[in-house]
Amino acid sequence: MSTRQLSGAHRLSAALLLLGSMATLGSVTAHAADSAAIAEGREIAADRNRGNCYSCHMAEGAEMTGNGGPPLMQMQLRFPEREVLKAQIADPRIRNPNTVMPPYGAHGILTERELELVTDYIHSL
């Protein structure tokens, strides 16, 4: 291999290493954003004037929970598709017309942003 070919191979290796590092950094940044969204969603879920999820649902780490609704656990197994969970929170009457769960999105109880955050949190359980 000539010196010129070797330096080209080194440049390619360095470029690939740099791209790999950038991809890793991007995933760390995305994870940090996910953690912040989950934490904010948890706050909304716990807020008695907004989500009020724990009045009916048990969740690990939650205080003063109810048992009128199913426990919030293994949510990714129960709702593999996040958007199905979001639709359930937004308007549970679609799947069950006799539900007592409030339609948080349909009635404007939560804003679209709050609905996204609560969905992120619930889906993380």
Rounded to two decimals, the pTM is 0.72
pLDDT at 71: 96
Q: Which residues make Cβ contacts (< 8 Å) with residue 112, sequence separation at least 6?
A: 105
Domain ranges for the chain, please list them: 3-124
Residue 78, sorted as left (phi over 0), alpha (psi -120 to 50) or beta, turns out to be: alpha
CATH class belonging to 3-124: mainly alpha
pLDDT at 82: 95
- Please list the ranges in the chain whose pLDDT falls under 50: 2-3, 6, 15-19, 21-33
Residue pair 104/57 in contact (Cβ under 8 Å)? The answer is no
For residue 84, what are its two tokens?
A: 């199905």
Q: Which residues make Cβ contacts (< 8 Å) with residue 99, sequence separation at least 6?
A: 92, 93
